[in-house]
A = this chain, B = another copy of it.
Amino acid sequence: MSLKANEKNSIESGTFSLTDVVSIADISRKEIEIVLNKAKNLEEMDKKEKSKILENRVVASLFFEPSTRTRLSFETAIQNLGGRVIGFADPGVSSFKKGETLSDTIKMIERYADIIVMRHFIEGAARRAAEISQVPIINGGDGANQHPTQTLLDLYTIKKEFGKIDGITIGLLGDLKYGRTVHSLAYALAKFNDAKIYCISPEQLKMPKEIIEDIKGKVKVIETDDLNKVLPELDVLYATRIQKERFADEKDYNKVKNAFILDAGILKKTKKQFRIMHPLPRVNEIKTELDLTPAALYFEQAANGVPVREALLAMLLGKKKVI
């Protein structure tokens, strides 16, 4: 199936219906496209013009859990749009320690800021905040649960590089059991047409069965532990970190830790337009010898966080909410 002409038109002229960005599950394919188009539009916009979008607006950036990439790209986005930032990068400087509930913090901040960006260590925190807040909430990650702006920038990166997302063949590599990034990306790809997903992981870190069940009618999903075999077919290899903390037994970790370290050798087996993505930070799962090859898309991917977050901020500004 493909988009019909009038559906395409409605995308181009479409408006983003959401008042908060909490989970990629809330966002339809049509609305994903609207976000990606808006991001492209902002990336091409004159700096001065762009800096009027959040002029005289305040955006709260509340990081109850530390982050570099997400926080700095949000704060860059806010400032590129001419907005002002208030907030904290570290829960230690907040009233949290005095026992204030998230709900009370939000009820205060919504009176100071026009939009709230938040990262929280508790799963569901952003949803709860969105239910309470009169101003839009953007989820910058809630525990192991959702990180929708990461998924949107992943999709933007694919679209920018390949011209489309439909029909993409992607390998998800590494820790597919605990990685929220690959879970969300899998669900998001299922909203597009004819994507093919290889889930490449050691036995202990396989993609959860319920996710496979949820998406397998919508995309082709193949599970494997043999990266080399599937490499030639991939457009994108999406690598993730394997975290030692995930293994009860260090022996199990040592068995798999080096299984999926990518080096320049893999490029002998790949398509010409093959690209490597990674949510970063990496530790050793992508050797730096790959950084200067055309396959390395991960730094561009990180950079794409800025226009995508700009797009969300621009589209959520002034949204009326009924609480």
Contacts and interface: CB of A to CB of B under 8 A. Distances in A.
A76 B112 contact: yes
A9 interface: no
A80 B56 CA distance: 7
Contacts of A51: 56
Interface string A82-114: 001011111011111111100111011101110
Given A86-B72, A283-B99, A94 B66 contact: yes
Contacts of A209: none
A300 B112 CA distance: 11
Contacts of A84: 79
Contacts of A299: 107-108, 111
B72 A92 contact: no
Interface string A51-78: 1000110101001001111011101100
A288 interface: yes
Given A56-B48, A93-B89, A283-B99, A109 B63 contact: no
B93 A90 contact: yes
A94 B112 CA distance: 26
A282 interface: yes
Contacts of A103: 288
Contact of A281 (B76, B100, B291): B100
B108 A280 contact: yes
Interface residues of A, number: 55
Nearest to A282: B104
Contacts of A170: none
B109 A72 contact: yes
A110 to B, nearest CB: 9
A281 B95 contact: yes
Contacts of A79: 58, 84, 86
A104 B80 CA distance: 23
A128 interface: no
A231 interface: no
A20 B95 CA distance: 27
A281 B99 contact: yes
Nearest to A71: B93
A108 B302 contact: yes
A76 B108 contact: no
A322 to B, nearest CB: 14
A303 interface: yes
A69 B95 contact: yes
A242 interface: no
Given A72-B86, A72-B87, A100-B282, 16 more contacts: A50-B56, A56-B80, A68-B88, A68-B95, A79-B84, A79-B86, A88-B89, A89-B93, A90-B90, A99-B283, A100-B280, A103-B288, A104-B280, A108-B280, A111-B303, A112-B306
10 contacts: A47-B56, A48-B56, A50-B56, A56-B80, A66-B94, A68-B96, A68-B105, A76-B112, A89-B93, A107-B299
5 closest A-B pairs (Cβ-Cβ)?
Answer: A111-B303, A100-B281, A79-B84, A68-B95, A89-B93
